[in-house]
Protein backbone atom coordinates (compact mmCIF):
# COMPACT_ATOMS: atom_id res chain seq x y z
CA UNK A 1 0.00 0.00 0.00
CA UNK A 2 1.42 3.37 -1.07
CA UNK A 3 -0.12 6.46 0.49
CA UNK A 4 0.34 10.23 0.63
CA UNK A 5 -0.85 12.19 3.65
CA UNK A 6 -1.58 15.73 2.62
CA UNK A 7 -2.39 18.80 4.69
CA UNK A 8 -1.08 22.15 5.95
CA UNK A 9 1.58 22.58 8.65
CA UNK A 10 0.09 21.74 12.04
CA UNK A 11 -2.64 19.47 10.66
CA UNK A 12 -1.23 16.40 12.42
CA UNK A 13 0.25 14.63 9.40
CA UNK A 14 3.21 13.36 11.41
CA UNK A 15 1.07 11.93 14.20
CA UNK A 16 -1.42 10.22 11.88
CA UNK A 17 1.27 8.79 9.60
CA UNK A 18 3.15 7.38 12.63
CA UNK A 19 -0.01 5.63 13.84
CA UNK A 20 -0.80 4.28 10.38
CA UNK A 21 2.80 3.06 10.17
CA UNK A 22 2.34 1.08 13.39
CA UNK A 23 -1.09 -0.23 12.40
CA UNK A 24 -0.21 -1.41 8.88
CA UNK A 25 3.58 -1.83 8.96
CA UNK A 26 4.20 1.04 6.56
CA UNK A 27 7.51 2.81 6.04
CA UNK A 28 6.96 6.42 7.13
CA UNK A 29 8.83 8.83 4.87
CA UNK A 30 8.68 12.37 6.22
CA UNK A 31 10.72 14.96 4.35
CA UNK A 32 10.48 17.32 7.32
CA UNK A 33 11.89 14.69 9.71
CA UNK A 34 14.64 13.78 7.25
CA UNK A 35 15.76 17.37 6.84
CA UNK A 36 15.65 18.18 10.56
CA UNK A 37 17.75 15.09 11.31
CA UNK A 38 20.30 16.10 8.68
CA UNK A 39 20.47 19.60 10.19
CA UNK A 40 21.10 18.11 13.64
CA UNK A 41 23.88 15.90 12.24
CA UNK A 42 25.45 18.89 10.49
CA UNK A 43 25.65 16.99 7.19
CA UNK A 44 26.10 18.65 3.81
CA UNK A 45 22.39 18.18 3.11
CA UNK A 46 21.59 19.62 6.54
CA UNK A 47 23.68 22.71 5.92
CA UNK A 48 22.02 23.12 2.53
CA UNK A 49 18.46 23.14 3.91
CA UNK A 50 19.05 24.85 7.29
CA UNK A 51 18.54 28.37 5.98
CA UNK A 52 15.28 27.39 4.27
CA UNK A 53 13.89 25.82 7.46
CA UNK A 54 14.86 28.79 9.63
CA UNK A 55 13.08 31.19 7.28
CA UNK A 56 10.04 28.93 6.97
CA UNK A 57 10.62 28.48 3.24
CA UNK A 58 10.15 25.25 1.31
CA UNK A 59 13.26 23.32 0.32
CA UNK A 60 13.79 23.46 -3.51
CA UNK A 61 12.07 20.73 -5.56
CA UNK A 62 15.30 19.30 -6.95
CA UNK A 63 16.64 18.48 -3.47
CA UNK A 64 13.35 17.06 -2.13
CA UNK A 65 12.72 14.86 -5.19
CA UNK A 66 16.22 13.36 -4.98
CA UNK A 67 15.80 12.51 -1.28
CA UNK A 68 12.37 10.89 -1.79
CA UNK A 69 13.48 8.92 -4.85
CA UNK A 70 16.26 7.31 -2.82
CA UNK A 71 13.90 6.46 0.07
CA UNK A 72 11.15 4.78 -1.97
CA UNK A 73 13.38 3.06 -4.52
CA UNK A 74 12.96 -0.43 -3.02
CA UNK A 75 9.87 0.16 -0.88
CA UNK A 76 6.39 -1.29 -1.61
CA UNK A 77 4.55 -0.12 1.52
CA UNK A 78 4.94 3.46 2.62
CA UNK A 79 3.22 6.67 3.63
CA UNK A 80 4.64 9.96 2.37
CA UNK A 81 4.37 12.90 4.78
CA UNK A 82 5.22 16.33 3.37
CA UNK A 83 5.67 15.18 -0.24
CA UNK A 84 4.61 16.15 -2.86
CA UNK A 85 4.19 19.85 -2.06
CA UNK A 86 4.36 21.18 -5.61
CA UNK A 87 3.06 20.02 -9.00
CA UNK A 88 6.65 19.42 -10.12
CA UNK A 89 7.12 17.04 -7.18
CA UNK A 90 3.78 15.32 -7.92
CA UNK A 91 4.77 14.72 -11.55
CA UNK A 92 8.16 13.38 -10.44
CA UNK A 93 6.38 10.99 -8.04
CA UNK A 94 4.14 9.75 -10.87
CA UNK A 95 7.30 8.73 -12.72
CA UNK A 96 8.64 6.92 -9.64
CA UNK A 97 5.62 4.81 -8.59
CA UNK A 98 1.81 4.42 -8.45
CA UNK A 99 0.07 5.86 -5.38
CA UNK A 100 -2.98 4.00 -3.97
CA UNK A 101 -4.64 6.87 -2.08
CA UNK A 102 -4.22 10.44 -0.84
CA UNK A 103 -5.28 11.30 2.71
CA UNK A 104 -6.17 15.00 2.99
CA UNK A 105 -6.41 16.63 6.41
CA UNK A 106 -8.54 19.80 6.65
CA UNK A 107 -8.42 22.50 9.37
CA UNK A 108 -9.09 26.24 9.73
CA UNK A 109 -6.05 28.54 9.73
CA UNK A 110 -6.82 29.91 13.20
CA UNK A 111 -6.67 26.37 14.62
CA UNK A 112 -3.46 25.55 12.77
CA UNK A 113 -1.68 28.64 14.10
CA UNK A 114 -2.75 27.91 17.67
CA UNK A 115 -1.77 24.25 17.39
CA UNK A 116 1.64 24.88 15.82
CA UNK A 117 2.56 27.65 18.26
CA UNK A 118 1.64 25.30 21.12
CA UNK A 119 4.05 22.60 20.00
CA UNK A 120 7.03 21.80 22.24
CA UNK A 121 9.81 19.35 21.42
CA UNK A 122 12.61 17.76 23.44
CA UNK A 123 15.87 19.75 23.35
CA UNK A 124 17.87 16.50 23.29
CA UNK A 125 18.82 15.89 19.61
CA UNK A 126 18.79 12.12 20.23
CA UNK A 127 15.22 12.14 21.57
CA UNK A 128 11.95 12.48 19.61
CA UNK A 129 9.78 13.72 22.51
CA UNK A 130 6.90 15.81 21.14
CA UNK A 131 4.21 17.68 23.13
CA UNK A 132 1.60 20.43 22.74
CA UNK A 133 0.43 23.01 25.29
CA UNK A 134 -2.54 24.25 23.22
CA UNK A 135 -6.01 23.38 24.61
CA UNK A 136 -8.45 24.07 21.76
CA UNK A 137 -12.22 23.89 22.28
CA UNK A 138 -14.14 26.07 19.83
CA UNK A 139 -16.48 25.99 16.83
CA UNK A 140 -15.59 27.66 13.51
CA UNK A 141 -17.92 27.64 10.48
CA UNK A 142 -19.97 24.84 12.03
CA UNK A 143 -16.94 22.62 12.69
CA UNK A 144 -16.52 21.81 16.39
CA UNK A 145 -12.89 21.46 17.46
CA UNK A 146 -12.02 19.51 20.61
CA UNK A 147 -8.23 19.22 20.71
CA UNK A 148 -6.87 18.68 24.24
CA UNK A 149 -3.21 19.45 25.05
CA UNK A 150 -0.50 16.80 25.14
CA UNK A 151 1.48 17.72 28.23
CA UNK A 152 4.54 16.13 29.88
CA UNK A 153 4.17 14.69 33.38
CA UNK A 154 6.82 17.07 34.73
CA UNK A 155 6.42 20.76 33.84
CA UNK A 156 8.29 21.49 30.58
CA UNK A 157 10.53 18.41 30.83
CA UNK A 158 10.50 15.47 28.43
CA UNK A 159 8.88 12.28 29.76
CA UNK A 160 11.34 10.15 27.77
CA UNK A 161 14.69 11.62 28.81
CA UNK A 162 14.04 14.49 31.25
CA UNK A 163 15.55 17.16 29.01
CA UNK A 164 13.93 20.63 28.83
CA UNK A 165 11.25 21.19 26.19
CA UNK A 166 11.71 23.96 23.63
CA UNK A 167 9.74 25.68 20.88
CA UNK A 168 11.28 25.19 17.44
CA UNK A 169 12.26 28.35 15.57
CA UNK A 170 9.83 27.50 12.75
CA UNK A 171 6.96 27.08 15.26
CA UNK A 172 6.87 30.77 16.25
CA UNK A 173 3.91 32.96 15.10
CA UNK A 174 5.65 35.02 12.39
CA UNK A 175 7.24 31.94 10.82
CA UNK A 176 4.02 29.89 11.15
CA UNK A 177 1.98 32.46 9.20
CA UNK A 178 4.61 32.53 6.46
CA UNK A 179 4.69 28.72 6.31
CA UNK A 180 0.90 28.61 5.91
CA UNK A 181 1.00 31.29 3.21
CA UNK A 182 3.65 29.38 1.27
CA UNK A 183 1.67 26.16 1.70
CA UNK A 184 -1.50 27.72 0.28
CA UNK A 185 0.38 29.30 -2.61
CA UNK A 186 2.42 26.29 -3.69
CA UNK A 187 0.51 23.22 -2.51
CA UNK A 188 -3.11 23.87 -3.51
CA UNK A 189 -2.29 23.27 -7.18
CA UNK A 190 -1.07 19.78 -6.23
CA UNK A 191 -4.56 18.68 -5.19
CA UNK A 192 -5.95 20.26 -8.32
CA UNK A 193 -3.40 18.29 -10.33
CA UNK A 194 -4.58 15.01 -8.77
CA UNK A 195 -8.26 15.94 -9.12
CA UNK A 196 -7.83 16.62 -12.84
CA UNK A 197 -5.89 13.44 -13.57
CA UNK A 198 -7.75 11.14 -15.93
CA UNK A 199 -5.12 8.44 -16.26
CA UNK A 200 -4.16 6.55 -13.06
CA UNK A 201 -6.49 8.72 -10.96
CA UNK A 202 -5.65 8.61 -7.23
CA UNK A 203 -8.56 8.21 -4.73
CA UNK A 204 -8.91 10.98 -2.13
CA UNK A 205 -9.82 10.47 1.55
CA UNK A 206 -10.73 13.75 3.33
CA UNK A 207 -11.04 14.23 7.10
CA UNK A 208 -11.24 17.26 9.41
CA UNK A 209 -8.63 17.69 12.16
CA UNK A 210 -11.21 18.48 14.83
CA UNK A 211 -10.79 15.62 17.30
CA UNK A 212 -7.95 13.79 19.12
CA UNK A 213 -5.59 11.71 16.92
CA UNK A 214 -7.11 8.31 17.72
CA UNK A 215 -10.50 9.43 16.37
CA UNK A 216 -8.99 10.94 13.22
CA UNK A 217 -7.01 7.75 12.55
CA UNK A 218 -10.24 5.72 12.82
CA UNK A 219 -11.81 7.93 10.13
CA UNK A 220 -8.77 7.46 7.89
CA UNK A 221 -8.88 3.68 8.35
CA UNK A 222 -12.58 3.69 7.44
CA UNK A 223 -11.66 5.52 4.23
CA UNK A 224 -8.95 2.97 3.40
CA UNK A 225 -11.43 0.14 4.02
CA UNK A 226 -13.98 1.74 1.69
CA UNK A 227 -11.33 1.65 -1.07
CA UNK A 228 -10.53 -2.00 -0.38
CA UNK A 229 -6.95 -1.20 0.60
CA UNK A 230 -7.23 -2.75 4.08
CA UNK A 231 -9.49 -5.40 5.60
Q: What is the mean pLDDT of each run of 10 residues along the chain (231 residues)?
A: 92 90 94 86 89 80 92 93 91 95 95 95 92 96 96 94 93 90 87 88 95 95 96 83
Predicted confidence at residue 65, as pLDDT, reads: 95
Predicted confidence at residue 203, as pLDDT, reads: 95
Predicted confidence at residue 170, as pLDDT, reads: 86
Residue 40 falls in the annotated catalytic set: no
CA-based max dimension of the chain: 53
Predicted confidence at residue 163, as pLDDT, reads: 97
Q: Is the dihedral of CA 149, 175, 46, 64 positive or negative?
A: positive
Predicted confidence at residue 188, as pLDDT, reads: 87
* pLDDT per position as a tens digit, 54-103: 777 778 999 999 999 989 988 999 999 989 988 999 999 999 999 999 99
Domains and CATH numbers, the chain: 2-226 (3.40.50.300)
- The active-site residue, picked from 36, 88, 115, 179, is 179
- The active-site residue, picked from 138, 168, 177, 219, is 168
Residue 69 falls in the annotated catalytic set: no
Residue 13 falls in the annotated catalytic set: yes
Residue 119 falls in the annotated catalytic set: yes
How far apart are the C-alpha atoms of 138 and 170, rounded to whole Å? 25
- The active-site residue, picked from 13, 19, 88, 115, is 13
Predicted confidence at residue 197, as pLDDT, reads: 87
Residue 225 falls in the annotated catalytic set: no
- The active-site residue, picked from 85, 88, 115, 120, is 85
Predicted confidence at residue 58, as pLDDT, reads: 76
How far apart are the C-alpha atoms of 179 and 29, rounded to whole Å? 20
Of the candidates 106, 130, 146, 177, the one whose C-alpha atom is nearest the C-alpha of residue 32 is 130
Amino acid sequence: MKLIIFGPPGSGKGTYSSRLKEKFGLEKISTGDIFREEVKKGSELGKLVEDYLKKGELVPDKIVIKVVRERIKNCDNFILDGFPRTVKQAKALDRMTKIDAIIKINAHEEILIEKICGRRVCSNPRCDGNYNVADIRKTIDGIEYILPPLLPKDDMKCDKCGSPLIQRDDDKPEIVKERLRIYEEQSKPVLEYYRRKRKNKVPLIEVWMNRPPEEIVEKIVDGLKSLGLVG
